[in-house]
Amino acid sequence: MEVLPALEARYQMRLTPLVGGAEARTFAGDGLVFKIYPPAHTSSQPGGILAARLEALNMTKAGLGEWVVEAFAMDGYGVLVTRRYPGSNFTPEACSAAALDELADFFARLHSLAEPGVVSRARLEERLGQFGATLHDLPQAQRLVGWLRPHIEEVAGTPQAFCHRDPHAGNILLKHPEAQGVPAALVVDWVRAQPDDPARDLAILTTGTLELLGKEAALAALKRIVRRYPNPLPLWRRLRFWVPLTYLHDMHWFRTKQPAGFRAAVAEKLPRALEFYQHFEALGL
């Protein structure tokens, strides 16, 4: 990456690569993290300085502004510099009760930030139709799509809140045991944050992060988080729609983006989606 030497010269430090996401490459050095966005990404996602500034603004809006150092342009690239969190990606072994409480409090605060508009019925119908078409040859997936359609009425019209929209395990950091003065967990990668249904955020958190804890522990953790909200029951009921829909989305993604992993994704995710929906009434909050 041609801007790397210039960054190292500007900050007088050696930068080493970290695991990066789809939008940017990430490097670390002396207590800082450098997220480098290429000049352009896709028509639906900004690149360069626009992406760097958007993520910095979203972090600040989410109450994480203290982690932002600066965002600037360099040779057409956008560079977001943040303080480095003394932790690592979510694992079941490192997930403590304190980390779950931190996530619960954080998402409850985040989702208290009201946004204009409501969840679109047309968008929900479009997504179900899209997943149904992609998974046309899976009878159980078709059955699940049919079960979810009547629940659109329960979700459409929900007031939107500020949402992360991608809280999978790769975007959840847990602090090292010896670290002091930092939260027990930190949510990173804010470039995709937008207004949405808070239940969708929690569904992605469930399917992409909490389920690593195991079935019973994941359900207990989800309930623990939902109960932190001022009005938990409506949020809980909407998860009957969003959790199975998220599993359908994941299978759709594998078939369209990584077909080699599609068969394994179906074997893992379809039974979980069916079980969550079919047993939801018995789960209770």
Task: Round the average pLDDT of the chain to a whole number and report it.
Answer: 95
Q: What's the whole-number mean pLDDT along residues 128-132?
A: 97
Q: What's the whole-number mean pLDDT along residues 163-181?
A: 96
Centre a 10 Å sphere on the Cβ of residue 78 and count the other Cβ atoms it contains: 27
Has residue 41 got a pLDDT over 70? no
* Pick from 213, 204, 196, 202: nearest CA to 250: 204
CA 80, 82, 86 angle in degrees (round to 5)? 145
* Pick from 264, 279, 229, 270: nearest CA to 247: 270
Has residue 66 got a pLDDT over 70? yes
Strands 194-196 and 77-83: unpaired
Q: Over the stretch 202-260, which tens digit does the pLDDT of each residue have?
A: 999 999 999 999 999 999 999 999 999 999 999 999 999 999 999 999 999 999 999 99
Has residue 181 got a pLDDT over 80? yes
Centre a 10 Å sphere on the Cβ of residue 265 and count the other Cβ atoms it contains: 18
Whole-angstrom Cα distance, residue 179 to residue 74? 33
The maximal CA–CA distance of the chain, rounded, in angstroms, is 60
Whole-angstrom Cα distance, residue 38 to residue 78? 7
Local confidence band at 43 (pLDDT 50, 70, 90 cut-offs): low
Q: Where are the domains of the chain?
A: 4-84, 88-283
- Alpha helix (H) residue ranges in the chain: 4-11, 48-61, 97-110, 121-134, 139-148, 152-155, 198-208, 215-226, 232-257, 262-278, 280-283
Do residues 105 and 59 lie in contact, with contact meaning Cβ atoms separated by under 8 Å? no
4-84: which CATH topology? Answer: Phosphorylase Kinase; domain 1 (3.30.200)
Q: What is the pTM of this model?
A: 0.95
88-283: which CATH topology? Answer: Aminoglycoside 3'-phosphotransferase; Chain: A, domain 2 (3.90.1200)
Local confidence band at 47 (pLDDT 50, 70, 90 cut-offs): confident
Query: What pLDDT does residue 167 have?
Result: 97
Local confidence band at 42 (pLDDT 50, 70, 90 cut-offs): low
Local confidence band at 283 (pLDDT 50, 70, 90 cut-offs): very high
Has residue 23 got a pLDDT over 90? no
* Pick from 111, 79, 106: nearest CA to 186: 106
Has residue 162 got a pLDDT over 90? yes
Query: What pLDDT does residue 163 have?
Result: 98
Would residue 182 be called left, alpha or beta, if left means φ above 0 and alpha means ψ between -120 and 50 degrees? Answer: beta
Q: How far is CA 93 from CA 96, 112, 188, in A?
A: 8, 30, 20
Centre a 10 Å sphere on the Cβ of residue 157 and count the other Cβ atoms it contains: 11
Lookup result for tokens 């069916």: 274
Alpha-carbon dihedral 184, 190, 193, 199, rounded to 10 degrees: -20
Query: What pLDDT does residue 1 have?
Result: 63
